[in-house]
């Protein structure tokens, strides 16, 4: 991880931000590593992301949160847009004051954290010296003079006393239901994706779009570049695209790259096309094992994932969980069939087609026999079998199976999938 983070720090713009998400296993080691790479003084936040609420653990406090570290390319002046949400109406802010007209007004700090020697922001204004509190003025002296003339500066009763610093007074009286508060570094309003979430693609570590949306909105502007060097199924890319940012995604796994390409096509309506990409539209995926020859050499698990995802299916989570079935296709419009069953189990949707994948030159009759048994066990009426080719016996058995049991097995070759000539056979 270190060499990768060093490179990411190297390409980070001065105004840019670097976010690193991890859990309790690694967070303390990662923080030390990132401090060394980016510099402690470029560290801005440790965000606590509470992913879940529903977990119990008889042996310890349930582990509910992950950690997201934020480092920036410079110490001040980097892109950051505070996020405001409606405040809790039942709470009265301690920053309220009573104006000369007897109404309540909210006030805000005129200073920012950290000292500076630059210009007047580090120098006293009206005998108040922010440096004595390790702070600086957030506004020019002339702006504060203007506000004072307009009666918009709240002066402390005892000037100079501890905490007695002038503050900016709101122009309008305080209305509790209109109060906005800034989202802090504890995020409890974004749940991890559950098994039935609409945006879920079956990619095990997929993050919620809302999380990436929040990060990208806060730390970049339109047309800025978002780089996710571990982008999995491309959540950051979709969020960046939706927010009109430019983006680059990197992932070591060909499966992940296939999933994200499909997602960018399906969800964002982008074309995977070199020409389009050259004109600032569309996108390209580089360095994938596209050829049959390359597909023969990737690990069987990667091959299975590739095939299932290429068919628009969802790979099985575990490789042993569902004997003889490597993935499932859920037809558009599938609906939960048993309301009582625990949501969170994909089984709760009964409308699905099994996929079996074999990274072999010729799928033979015994392979088909096993798939037939698996389909009968799961009471499926239609299924798909992927291989490089099928023996004559295998194809005859598929035919006889249909005559005997009225169950359809669709044989699909890798060549057909690569040529994208299978769409009509999937319906």
Ligand X SMILES: C[S@@+](CC[C@H](N)C(=O)[O-])C[C@H]1O[C@@H](n2cnc3c(N)ncnc32)[C@H](O)[C@@H]1O
Residue nearest to ligand X (CB): 232
Q: For ligand X, which is the closer residue by CB, 259 or 398?
A: 259
Least distance to ligand X, CB of residue 203, Å: 5
H/E stretch holding 154: strand 153-154
Pick the binder of ligand X from 17, 121, 235, 356 (CB under 6 A).
235
Do residues 306 and 295 lie in contact, with contact meaning Cβ atoms separated by under 8 Å?
yes
Residues 202, 203, 204: CA angle, nearest 5 degrees: 105
Q: For ligand X, which is the closer residue by CB, 2 or 381?
A: 2
Q: For ligand X, which is the closer residue by CB, 19 or 390?
A: 19
Q: For ligand X, which is the closer residue by CB, 166 or 232?
A: 232
Least distance to ligand X, CB of residue 50, Å: 17
Instruction: Kindly tell me the number of DSSP H helices and DSSP E strands found in the chain.
Output: 13, 19
- Assign residue 344 a region: left if phi > 0, alpha if psi is -120 to 50, beta otherwise? left
Is 205 a binding residue for ligand X by CB under 6 A? The answer is: yes
Q: For ligand X, which is the closer residue by CB, 208 or 354?
A: 208
If binding means CB under 6 A, how many residues of this protein chain bind ligand X? 15
Is 230 a binding residue for ligand X by CB under 6 A? The answer is: yes
Q: Within positions 330 to 389, which residues make up the interface with ligand X, using CB under 6 A?
A: none
CA-wise closest residue to 121 among 100, 141, 137: 137
With contacts defined by CB under 6 A, name the span among 71-79, 183-191, 230-238, 385-393 that binds ligand X: 230-238
**Number of Cβ within a 10 Å radius of residue 63:** 13
Is 202 a binding residue for ligand X by CB under 6 A? The answer is: no
Is 194 a binding residue for ligand X by CB under 6 A? The answer is: no
Least distance to ligand X, CB of residue 287, Å: 12
Is 197 a binding residue for ligand X by CB under 6 A? The answer is: no
Is 203 a binding residue for ligand X by CB under 6 A? The answer is: yes
Least distance to ligand X, CB of residue 243, Å: 16
Distance in angstroms (rounded) separating the CA atoms of residues 111 and 122:
10
Distance in angstroms (rounded) separating the CA atoms of residues 368 and 362:
11
Do residues 345 and 321 lie in contact, with contact meaning Cβ atoms separated by under 8 Å?
no
Q: Within positions 239 to 278, which residues make up the interface with ligand X, using CB under 6 A?
A: 250-253, 256
Q: Cβ contacts of residue 416 below 8 Å, gap of 6+?
A: 422
Do residues 95 and 108 lie in contact, with contact meaning Cβ atoms separated by under 8 Å?
yes
H/E stretch holding 98: strand 96-98
Pick the binder of ligand X from 111, 206, 219, 220 (CB under 6 A).
206
Q: Assign 383 to helix, strand or coil.
A: strand
Q: Cβ contacts of residue 411 below 8 Å, gap of 6+?
A: 363, 385, 387, 390, 394, 395, 398
Is 232 a binding residue for ligand X by CB under 6 A? The answer is: yes
With contacts defined by CB under 6 A, name the span among 84-92, 145-153, 200-208, 215-223 that binds ligand X: 200-208
Q: For ligand X, which is the closer residue by CB, 186 or 250?
A: 250
Q: Within positions 92 to 151, which residues make up the interface with ligand X, using CB under 6 A?
A: none
Interface with ligand X (CB under 6 A) = 203, 205-207, 229-233, 235, 250-253, 256
């Amino acid at each position: 991880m270190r060499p990768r983070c060093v490179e990411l720090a190297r390409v980070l713009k001065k105004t840019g931000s670097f976010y690193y998400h991890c859990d309790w296993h690694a967070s303390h080691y990662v923080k030390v590593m990132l401090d060394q790479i980016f510099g402690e003084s470029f560290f801005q936040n440790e965000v606590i992301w509470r992913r879940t609420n529903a977990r119990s653990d008889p042996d310890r406090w349930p582990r509910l949160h992950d950690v997201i570290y934020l480092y920036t390319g410079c110490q001040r002046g980097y892109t950051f847009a505070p996020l405001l949400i409606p405040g809790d109406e039942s709470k009265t802010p301690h920053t309220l004051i009573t104006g000369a007209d007897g109404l309540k007004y909210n006030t805000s700090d005129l200073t920012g954290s950290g000292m500076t020697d630059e210009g007047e922001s580090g120098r006293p204004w009206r005998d108040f010296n922010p440096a004595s509190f390790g702070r600086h003025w957030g506004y020019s002296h002339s702006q504060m003079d203007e506000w004072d003339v307009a009666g918009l500066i709240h002066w402390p009763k005892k000037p100079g006393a501890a905490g007695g610093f002038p503050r900016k007074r709101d122009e309008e009286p305080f209305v509790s239901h209109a109060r906005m508060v800034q989202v802090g570094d504890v995020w409890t309003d974004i749940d991890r994706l559950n098994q039935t979430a609409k945006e879920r693609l079956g990619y095990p570590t997929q993050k919620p779009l809302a999380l990436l949306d929040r990060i990208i909105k806060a730390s970049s502007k339109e047309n800025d570049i978002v780089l996710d060097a571990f982008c999995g199924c491309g959540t950051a890319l979709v969020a960046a695209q939706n927010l009109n940012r430019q983006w680059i995604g990197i992932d070591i796994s060909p499966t992940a790259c296939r999933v994200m390409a499909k997602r960018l096509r399906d969800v964002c309506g982008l074309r995977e096309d070199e020409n389009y990409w050259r004109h600032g539209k569309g996108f390209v995926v580089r360095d994938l094992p596209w050829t049959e020859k390359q597909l023969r050499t990737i690990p069987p698990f990667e091959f299975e994932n590739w095939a299932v995802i290429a068919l628009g299916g969802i790979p099985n989570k575990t490789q042993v969980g569902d004997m003889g079935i490597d993935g499932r296709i859920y037809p558009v419009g599938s609906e939960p069939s048993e309301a009582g069953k625990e949501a969170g189990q994909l089984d709760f949707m009964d409308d699905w087609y099994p996929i079996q994948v074999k990274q072999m030159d010729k799928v033979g009759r015994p392979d088909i026999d096993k798939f037939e048994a698996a389909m009968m066990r799961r009471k499926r009426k239609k299924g798909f079998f992927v291989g490089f080719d099928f023996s004559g016996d295998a194809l005859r058995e598929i035919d006889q199976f249909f005559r005997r049991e009225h169950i359809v097995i669709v044989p699909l070759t890798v060549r057909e999938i690569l040529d994208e000539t299978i769409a009509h056979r999937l319906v």
